[in-house]
Chain A
Amino acid sequence: MALPFEKPIEDLESKIREMQAYADEQQVDLAEEISLLEQRLERLKRETFAHLTRWQRVLVARAPGRPTALDHVGAFVDDFVELHGDRALGDDPALVAGLGRVDGAGVVVLAQQKGRDTKENIHRNFGMAHPSGYRKAMRMMEMADKFGLAVVALIDTPGAYPGIAAEEQGQAWVIAESIRRMSRLRVPAVAVVVGEGGSGGALAIGVANRVLILENSVYSVISPESCAAIRWRDAAEAPRAAEALKLTSADLLEQGVVDEIVAEPLGGAHKDPATAVAATATAVRAALASLRGLPVEEIVRARSERFRHMGRVLVDSA
C-alpha cells in the first residue's frame, strides 16, 4: 500500500519491472532504456524525499512495513532474552523488555513494539503501553543499575494508552516515576526514536545520555491530529498542525532535543528494512562505545545536564 506521495515512484518502479520482464521474455536488449528509467527513478525518489512536508514524514514514520522496534533489536542485539512482567499487575506486550549483548557487552533492552500486522497490532495495543509496561521498564532499569548493564531504549509509540484502567492504575504517576528512574541510571543509556515518539509515553524511556532518531521518525509533544482538534477544532487540519509542531528529525536536531539523525535508505526505511536496521545498529553501537568507560558520576551528571538545559527562554538581566 503506497503512501499518497509515493504513487509516482511506485508507478515508475512497476514500469521498470514490466520492461525488464518483457526484455527477459522476448530476449531483447532494453538495458539502455531500463538504465535511463532507473536514473529517472533515482532522481524522482531523491526529489520527493528531499521535499517531504512534515505531515508526509509523519506518514512515513507510521508506514506499514517500517521496521518495528524488535526488527531493529534483531539487527544489533545478540543473545536477546525477553523478560516479562512488572511483578505487580501483569505483562504489557506494548513494551518489550529483555537482556542481550551489543559488541559483547551486556545491555538491557526496552522496546516499544507496534505490530507488523493487524493481529500483532491488537496484541501490542498499537505500541501504546499501560502503567504495567512502564513498571516493567523501571524494574529493568533497576536490574541495569544492579548489574552494570547499559540501557538501550527503542521508542515507537503513538503515546501512553489513554484508557480507564490506565488512568486508574496511575498512568501519569508511572510516566513521572519512569522519567525520574531513568534520569538516575548509573549506567549509560541510549535511546533511539525509530518511528513515532508520542509525548510523555515516549519520554518515559527517553531520558538517555544519547538520543538518536531515524531520519523519517517524528517526536512530538502531541500527535498532529490531537493538536489540530484542539487548536483548529478540526482533526483534518493535522497536516498544518504537523508543520506548526516542528516534529521532524531535522527540527529536533535543531532544537537540541536529539543528538544525532540516523540516515534511512532512499525512499524510507519501509522500502528497504534491511539497510535501515543496519544503519541503526551502526549508530547504536557507536553511541554505546562513546559512553563506555565513563565514570558513574559523569554518566549521571551529563545526562542530568542534557535535560536540565532543554528549552528556549529569555532571561532579563537585573
Chain B
Amino acid sequence: MALERWFRRQRPTRGDDDATPAGLWVKCSACHAQLYRKDLVAHLYVCKECGHHERMPVAARIAMLTDEGSFEPWSGDVRPVDALGFVDVEPYAERLAAVQQKAGRPDAIVTGAALMEGEPVALAVMDFSFLGGSMGSVVGEEIALAAERAGEEDRALVMVAASGGARMQEGALSLMQMAKTTVALEGLASRRLPYVSVLTDPTTGGVTASFATLGDVIFAEPDALICFAGPRVIQQTIKQDLPAGFQRAEFLLRKGMIDDVVPRGELKRRLAAVIGLLRAGAATMVPGALPAGA
C-alpha cells in the first residue's frame, strides 16, 4: 500500500510519471516557449503561452479532478502476468518489471473513490507513460472492478482515457478486455449511474473502440488525438495526406462524435455538473433496474 501512503502524504507536484523533461525549465511541445516548470505544473500542464495541453501525470490528474484529500485508491492489488511468454527485441516480463519499478504501480491505471465537488464518484485514470497506457488483462480487470464497485457504492464513474490501445504483448487476451470492460459497465447502466468518459491525448485503438467511447457523456481535452486507427496506419493504407486537424478533439466535435472539448481547467466543474444533472434526473425515476438493452 505504498502508493496509498504516497497519495495521502502530499498533493503531488511532479510525479515519477511526469513525461515532460526534467529540469527547472521545460519547453512547450507545441509552441516551444520556455516555461518555468513550477508554473507549468501550477497551470495543470497547460502552456500559458499557447494553451497547449501537455500529457499529465496520473497523480496530478487525480489531484486536479478530486476534492482535496478525498481520493482513496482501489487499484493496485491486481498484477500483470506474461501469459504468452511474449518476446520481441526484449522479453515482455523484463519490460514490465522495469516500467513497474519506474512508475511505482503494477500497471497502466489507477482507480479509486473520490469526491468531485462533493459528488461521490469512482475515478479511473490511465497512465500513458506506462507502456503507452496499453490495455492488457490488468487494465481491463481494474476497470471492470471499478465499474462494479461504483455500482455497489452508488457512485458515478469518471474515466480519464489515455492509451495506445490494446496491449499486443498479451495477444488475444488483451483484445478480449474490450468486451470485458464493456460488459462490466452494464451494472452502472442498469442502476442509472452516470458514466462519463474523458478522452485525453492520445486515446487510440482498442481503448477508443470499447469503454472509452461508451460514456453517457464524452468529453475530450483540446487537441487530443482520438482515433481507432492511427494517422500513420491510415496514411500507409490510403497513400494520401490526411486533412489538417484530422482525428483531433475539435475535429471529432465537428463530426458529432464527442459532447464537447473541455479545457483542463474547467474539467472538474463540467464533470461534476453533468453528473449532478444526470443523477438528479435518475433520482426522480421509479426505483428498479433497467432491463438489459434499455
Contact = CB atoms under 8 A, between A and B. Distances in A.
A300 B190 CA distance: 14
Contacts of B76: 316
Interface string B65-101: 0000000000011111101101111000000000000
A316 B209 contact: no
B129 interface: no
Interface range, A side: 35 or more
Interface in B158-202: 166-180, 182-186
A197 to B, nearest CB: 8
A306 B76 CA distance: 24
Contact of B229 (A167, A177, A245, A313): A167
Contact of B228 (A200, A220, A309): A200
Interface stretch (B7-15, B26-34, B230-238): B230-238
Interface stretch (B42-50, B111-119, B239-247, B276-284): B239-247
A166 B237 CA distance: 12
Contacts of A279: none
A314 B144 contact: no
Nearest to B172: A257
A288 B141 CA distance: 30
B246 A167 contact: yes
A244 B84 contact: yes
Contacts, number: 203
Given A172-B228, A316-B77, A307 B173 contact: no
Interface residues of B, number: 64
**A interface, by DSSP: helix, strand, loop or mixed?**
helix
A318 B77 CA distance: 8
B179 A183 contact: yes
Interface string A291-308: 000000000100010011
A177 B214 contact: yes
B140 interface: yes
B78 A257 contact: no
A313 B182 contact: no
B60 interface: no
Contact of B168 (A160, A168, A170, A227): A227
Given A162-B228, A311-B180, 20 more contacts: A160-B228, A162-B229, A163-B238, A164-B240, A169-B255, A171-B209, A171-B229, A172-B226, A176-B214, A179-B179, A180-B214, A184-B293, A199-B166, A199-B175, A199-B206, A226-B233, A245-B172, A310-B173, A310-B177, A316-B79
Interface of B: 76-81, 83-84, 86-89, 136-138, 140-141, 144, 166-180, 182-186, 205-206, 208-214, 226-229, 233-234, 237-238, 240, 242-243, 246-247, 255, 257, 292-293
20 contacts: A164-B243, A166-B229, A169-B255, A172-B227, A203-B179, A207-B182, A220-B171, A221-B166, A221-B170, A230-B168, A231-B88, A240-B88, A244-B87, A247-B171, A255-B171, A255-B172, A257-B175, A310-B140, A310-B180, A311-B174
- Going nearest first, the 6 A-B pairs with the smallest beta carbon separation are A311-B137, A162-B229, A310-B176, A172-B208, A231-B88, A172-B228
Interface of A: 145, 160, 162-164, 166-173, 175-177, 179-181, 183-184, 186, 199-200, 203-204, 206-207, 219-222, 226-227, 230-232, 240-241, 244-247, 251-252, 255, 257, 300, 304, 307-316, 318
